[in-house]
Structure 1
Amino acid sequence: EIFATCAEHDLASICNSPLAMGLLSGKFDNTSRLPNDDVRGSGHSWVAYFADGQPRPEFLDKLTAVREILTSDGRTLVQGALAWLWARSPQAVPIPGFKTVQQVEENARAMQHGPLTAEQVREIEELLAQPA
């Protein structure tokens, strides 16, 4: 576990792509299709959340399962995803991508909400552990 190692050695954990290449933004569904020139549509094996330019159904299902918890307390889905990382480790330094000023502002406003509670993290872990 990266977070445990970082905590043990008092190191930061730089979290690149904390929004799962946009999947945790909520803008994709099972009808979404990305072009081949988008890295998520390129077919690279390291693109875990997308296959052939489409969000993988198992990840969409997991997102649906945890959406209500992530968006609790007035958070957007993006803010909830960042809050989940902060709740798992105070060493987590997420670096979410953005294309617009609105996205930058949404990401920054996540700090106003702070991390999810321990109970919320436990609920999410239970939901994610359930078989699809």
Structure 2
Amino acid sequence: MLWLLLLHISAVICWCGSLLYLPALIASTASQKTGIEQQSHLAVTLAIFRLFVTPVALITIASGTAIFFTAGITDLWLVLKLTLVTTLVLCHGLVGWLILRTQTAPYKDVTLQCVLLASGVVLLILAIIWVVLSKPF
């Protein structure tokens, strides 16, 4: 059980850190001057999203699900936490959408969307940490 908790916490740190890093990477991709620089930057961003962030998100969700099944947690705070995590998954999808948007409209400015998305991710991470540590219900 302890190894599962360690796996979950490690995956959460990697996933949340990546969700904070990717909007900055997307915004810097959109600000590249030449098309060749932008395409290579976008290829790296897409590879990070597909090969690292998405698998880590799946590991986070799977290990978290395994933890509350094996521990038998059915408290009300868990419902709130899962709702916040679902919103974080939606933010993960928005990151993918921003990558695709940058790919299809390379010179469109997405800085504001990236800042709003990163701010939302920060608020969600803080809310999840608060719920997990305080267990308010």
Which structure has greater helix proportion?
Answer: 2
Q: Name the structure, 1 or 2, with higher relative contact order (CA <8 Å, separation 6+).
A: 2
Q: Which structure would you say has the larger Rg? A: 2
Which structure has greater strand proportion?
Answer: 1
Please, what TM-score do these two structures have when normalized by structure 1?
0.32
